[in-house]
Amino acid sequence: MRSWSIPVGRLFGVEIRVHLTFVFLLAFVWMAESAMKGNSTPGRVLILVGIIFGSVVLHELGHALVAQREGLQAKAIILFPIGGITLLDDVVAGSTPGVVAWKRDIRIALAGPLVNIAIGLISAAVVLTRFPEAQLWTKPLIHSNHLLRSLVWSNLYLGVFNLLPAYPMDGGRVLRALFSRGMDIVQATRRAVSVAHALATLMVVVGMLLLIPGGHPDSSYLVMLGFFLLIGAQFEERSAIFQSVLETVHLEDVMLTDFATLSPADTLEDALEKAVHTLQDDFPVVRGGDMVGVISKANILQALRAEGNGYVQSVMNRIFEVSTRTESLASAFRKLNSRNLSIIPVVEEQQLVGIVTLQNLMHSMALLAESRKLRKEALES
Q: Can you tell me the distance from the alpha carbon of 362 to that of 77, in angstroms, rounded to the nearest whole number?
A: 26
- The residue (of 67 and 361) whose beta carbon lies closer to Zn ion is 67
Q: Can you tell me the distance from the alpha carbon of 22 to that of 113, in angstroms, rounded to the nearest whole number?
A: 20
- The residue (of 33 and 170) whose beta carbon lies closer to Zn ion is 170
Minimum CB–partner distance for residue 149 and Zn ion (Å) = 23
Q: Which stretch binds Zn ion (CB under 5 A): 136-144, 168-176, 226-234, 251-259?
A: 168-176
Q: Which stretch binds Zn ion (CB under 5 A): 9-17, 23-31, 106-114, 121-129?
A: 106-114
Sheet holding 74-80: strands in order across?
5-11, 14-19, 74-80, 83-88
Minimum CB–partner distance for residue 123 and Zn ion (Å) = 19
- The residue (of 1 and 125) whose beta carbon lies closer to Zn ion is 1
Minimum CB–partner distance for residue 125 and Zn ion (Å) = 23
Q: Which residue is nearest to Zn ion (CB)?
A: 112
- The residue (of 102 and 311) whose beta carbon lies closer to Zn ion is 102
Q: Can you tell me the distance from the alpha carbon of 379 to that of 381, in angstroms, rounded to the nearest whole number?
A: 6
Helical ranges in 38-100 per DSSP H: 42-69
For residues 146 to 165, the per-residue mask of contacts with Zn ion, x marking binding by CB under 5 A and - elsewhere, is: ----------------x---
- The residue (of 54 and 140) whose beta carbon lies closer to Zn ion is 54
Minimum CB–partner distance for residue 168 and Zn ion (Å) = 9
3 state SS of 333: helix
Q: Which stretch binds Zn ion (CB under 5 A): 1-9, 30-38, 109-117, 265-273?
A: 109-117
- The residue (of 86 and 357) whose beta carbon lies closer to Zn ion is 86
Q: How big is the site for Zn ion, counted in residues (CB under 5 A)?
A: 3
Q: Can you tell me the distance from the alpha carbon of 66 to that of 105, in angstroms, rounded to the nearest whole number?
A: 10
Minimum CB–partner distance for residue 112 and Zn ion (Å) = 3
Binding flag, residue 170, Zn ion (CB under 5 A): yes
Q: Can you tell me the distance from the alpha carbon of 356 to that of 284, in angstroms, rounded to the nearest whole number?
A: 10
- The residue (of 162 and 296) whose beta carbon lies closer to Zn ion is 162
Q: Which stretch binds Zn ion (CB under 5 A): 153-161, 170-178, 282-290, 327-335?
A: 170-178
Neighbours of 87 (CB within 10 A): 18
Minimum CB–partner distance for residue 95 and Zn ion (Å) = 23
- The residue (of 154 and 162) whose beta carbon lies closer to Zn ion is 162
Residue of 192, 171, 190 lying closest to 116 (CA atoms): 171
Q: Can you tell me the distance from the alpha carbon of 188 to that of 192, in angstroms, rounded to the nearest whole number?
A: 6
- The residue (of 16 and 246) whose beta carbon lies closer to Zn ion is 16
Binding flag, residue 81, Zn ion (CB under 5 A): no
Minimum CB–partner distance for residue 233 and Zn ion (Å) = 15
* Residue type for position 112: G
Phi, psi of 115 (to 5 degrees): -60, -50
48 neighbors 147 (Cβ within 8 angstroms): yes
Long-range CB pairs of 320-325, under 8 A, 24+ apart, other chains included: 320/291, 320/293, 320/294, 320/344, 320/345, 322/291, 322/346, 322/347, 323/251, 323/347, 323/356, 324/251, 324/348, 325/250, 325/251, 325/252, 325/255, 325/353, 325/354
Minimum CB–partner distance for residue 49 and Zn ion (Å) = 19
Binding flag, residue 112, Zn ion (CB under 5 A): yes
Measured CA to CA in angstroms, residue 20 lies from 15, 29, 127 at distances of 16, 15, 33
Q: Can you tell me the distance from the alpha carbon of 51 to that of 340, in angstroms, rounded to the nearest whole number?
A: 40
Binding flag, residue 62, Zn ion (CB under 5 A): no
80 neighbors 60 (Cβ within 8 angstroms): no
Minimum CB–partner distance for residue 155 and Zn ion (Å) = 13
Contact footprint for Zn ion (CB under 5 A)? 112, 162, 170
